[in-house]
Amino acid sequence: MLKSLANILRLTVKELRAIRGDLVMIVLIIYVFSAAVWLVSDAGSTEVQDLSVAVVDEDHSPLTARIIDEIRAPLFASPALLSPQEAEQAQIDGDYVLVVALPPHLERDLRRGDEAEIQILADATAVAFAGTGSTFMSELLAETVSDYLTPGVEGDDLVDVVFRSRFNPNLTARWFTAVMQLMNNVTILMMILSGSSLIRERERGTIEHVLVMPVRPHEIVFSKILATGGVILIASVLGLILVVQGAMGVPIAGSIWLYVFGAAIYVISMGALGLMLASFTHNMGQFGLLAIPVIVIMILLSGGITPLESMPEWLQFVMHLISPATHFVSFAQSVLYRGAGLDLVYPDLLKIAAMSLIALVLVLARFRKILS
């Protein structure tokens, strides 16, 4: 037992030396946990922000001027004023997500108490923005119009609603994407690093060499996960503290240590999965072909990009069953945003651990086979 631990430790030191020797890999690790997190969380957001809007104003009244004035940042970009024909073409070209059509005599009709209709034309091909964007737009229009027509009168709403958005008061997506980006990077790097370190040893024949010695396969597997996992874990935690919390100013609600604990388990599961895929392939090329779709699917269907609840139930079930990423996303959301404690998140962690265990058992079962 003690000998086994000593072996693992020695092999881990060797793996760490190997990582230290690979400058490109170190640069890549630093890049993805710093600049890349920043870049992507700035770009790929699904929050309604600076939405492109055009207005077709056929009224040219003070009311419509007021409306045009009210359509502004942060939710909307300042609107373009177009003729009906231009607006139609522009929307076909995909230039605007929303077009607000203000009909002729809008102000006059409203002041007379006649029926009037404002139409919002939403480009539903921009499916992530059209729905929410048009809801916000119609709220804005209703409010602006009633403010304008009956100034000073407090809303005549029947019900006063107090909205509180918990855990992320302004619903900014940067928080979310930044943390999810960290997780994606852990997924990508851990799978590739651990898997390719096994394949490299196999291609170079070093694994045979080690196995002739009094070293057991599990010692090799553990040392690989320990070394790469340690590096990735430290890099991701530094990324979280320095970049996400420090530079980007995302507040972290829960305990960092609990997050690190969970991330460690996740890192192990990704390492095990990478090794498992590697044990099914013969060379780097095949490993790459296998790993890429697995990574893409795992990231896209983790619940970190679109909500898991909107997937068909069978798919949710399958992803919960095979992908540690789904559990990690729900764990990370609970801890980092909601400040949940271990008592609330332990089921997720147990599931991730169970998946790692299964993957490790598979790797070890295949270990002798991969030598032939």
Partner 1 sequence: MEHVARLNAVSHRYKAVFALNDVTLDIPAGQVVGLIGPDGVGKSTLLGLIAGVRRAQEGEVTVLGQDMRDARARTALGAKIAYMPQGLGRNLYPSLSVRENLDFFGRLFGQKREERHARISMLTEATGLAPFLDRPAGKLSGGMKQKLGLCAALIHDPDLLILDEPTTGVDPLSRRQFWELIDRIRAKLTDMSVVVATAYMEEAERFDWLAAMNDGQVIATGSPEDIRTKAGKATLEDAFVEMLPKEEGEEVGVTLRPRIEQDGAVPAIEAFDLVKRFNTFTAVDHVSFTIPEGEIFGFLGSNGCGKSTTMKMLTGLLQPTEGRSKLFGEELENGDMAARQNIGYMSQAFSLYAELTVRQNLELHAKLYHIPAQRRAVRVREVLDEFELTEIAEALPDGLPLGIRQRLQLAVATIHEPRILILDEPTSGVDPLARDAFWRKLISLSRDKGVTIFISTHFMNEAERCDRISLMHAGRVLDVGTPQELTERRGAQTLEEAFIAALEGETQDEDAPSNTAGLTADVATKTASAAHRAMSRLWAYTTRETLELVRDPIRMFFALAGPIILMLTMGFGISFDVDKLSFAVNDMDRTPESRRLVEAFSSIPQFEQQEDFSSLDELDQLMERGDVTLAMEIPDGFGKALHQGLTVPEISIWIDGSMPFRGETTEGYTLGLLTQFAEDLEAETGTESSASLSISTRYLFNQAFKSAHAMVPSMIMLILMLIPAIMSTIAVVREKETGTIANFRATPVRKVEFLVGKQLPYIVIAWFNFWVLVGLGLWVFEVPWYGSLPVLGLAALFFVIATTGFGQLVSAFTRTQVSAVFATAVIAIIPTVNFSGLITPVSTLAPIGRLIGLSFPGAWFQPVSVGIFLKGFGLSDVALNILMLAGFSLIYLVLSVLALRKQEA
Query: In the window 281-310, what residues touch partner 1 (CB under 8 A)?
Result: 281, 283-290, 292-293, 296-297, 300-301, 303, 305-307, 309-310
Q: Of 84, 209, 361, 365, which one interacts with partner 1 (CB under 8 A)?
A: 209
Of the pair 144, 261, the CB lying nearest partner 1 is at 144
Q: Of 1, 23, 212, 249, which one interacts with partner 1 (CB under 8 A)?
A: 212
Treating both helix axes as pointing N-terminal to C-terminal, what angle do 23-33 and 35-43 enclose, rounded to 10 degrees?
Answer: 40
- Phi–psi pair at 18, nearest 5 degrees: -65, -40
216 binds partner 1 (CB under 8 A): yes
34 binds partner 1 (CB under 8 A): no
Q: Of 29, 64, 68, 123, which one interacts with partner 1 (CB under 8 A)?
A: 123
Q: Tell me which long-range contacts 363-368 makes (C-beta under 8 A, separation of at least 24).
A: 363/221, 363/272, 363/275, 363/276, 363/279, 364/217, 364/218, 364/221, 366/276, 366/279, 366/280, 367/217, 367/221, 367/279, 368/217
Q: Of 56, 130, 263, 276, which one interacts with partner 1 (CB under 8 A)?
A: 130
Alpha-carbon distance of 275 to 228, in angstroms, equals: 12
Q: Of 29, 67, 110, 278, which one interacts with partner 1 (CB under 8 A)?
A: 110
Find out whether 197 and 15 touch, Cβ atoms under 8 Å.
yes
Q: Of 6, 27, 321, 350, which one interacts with partner 1 (CB under 8 A)?
A: 6
According to DSSP, the β-strands at 53-57 and 98-102 are parallel
Alpha-carbon distance of 197 to 300, in angstroms, equals: 25
Interactions with partner 1, residue window 155-174 (CB under 8 A): 156-169, 171-173
DSSP string covering 178-238: HHHHHHHHHHHHHHHHHHHHHHHHHHHTHHHHHHHSS--HHHHHHHHHHHHHHHHHHHHHH
Q: Of 315, 350, 354, 361, which one interacts with partner 1 (CB under 8 A)?
A: 315
Q: Of 119, 242, 246, 321, which one interacts with partner 1 (CB under 8 A)?
A: 119
258 binds partner 1 (CB under 8 A): no
118 binds partner 1 (CB under 8 A): yes
Find out whether 276 and 370 touch, Cβ atoms under 8 Å.
no
The region of 65-73, 143-151, 263-271, 355-363 touching partner 1 under the rule CB under 8 A is 143-151
Find out whether 90 and 54 touch, Cβ atoms under 8 Å.
yes
83 binds partner 1 (CB under 8 A): no
Interactions with partner 1, residue window 56-75 (CB under 8 A): none
35 binds partner 1 (CB under 8 A): no
Alpha-carbon distance of 234 to 263, in angstroms, equals: 10
What are the C-alpha distances in Å from 31 to residues 24, 187, 225, 295? 10, 15, 21, 19
Interactions with partner 1, residue window 345-364 (CB under 8 A): none
Taking alpha carbons only, the member of 102, 48, 54 closest to residue 79 is: 54
The region of 49-57, 230-238, 263-271, 351-359 touching partner 1 under the rule CB under 8 A is 49-57
The region of 226-234, 244-252, 270-278, 338-346 touching partner 1 under the rule CB under 8 A is 338-346
Of the pair 114, 152, the CB lying nearest partner 1 is at 114
The region of 65-73, 121-129, 239-247, 270-278 touching partner 1 under the rule CB under 8 A is 121-129
146 binds partner 1 (CB under 8 A): yes
Q: Of 64, 196, 228, 279, which one interacts with partner 1 (CB under 8 A)?
A: 196
125 binds partner 1 (CB under 8 A): yes
SS3 274: helix
Place of tokens 């895929």: 277
- 74 preceded by a cis bond (ω within 30 of 0): yes
Cβ burial, residue 67 (10 Å; 0-12/13-18/19+):
buried
Interactions with partner 1, residue window 221-250 (CB under 8 A): none
Q: Of 34, 38, 105, 210, which one interacts with partner 1 (CB under 8 A)?
A: 210
The region of 148-156, 260-268, 270-278, 350-358 touching partner 1 under the rule CB under 8 A is 148-156
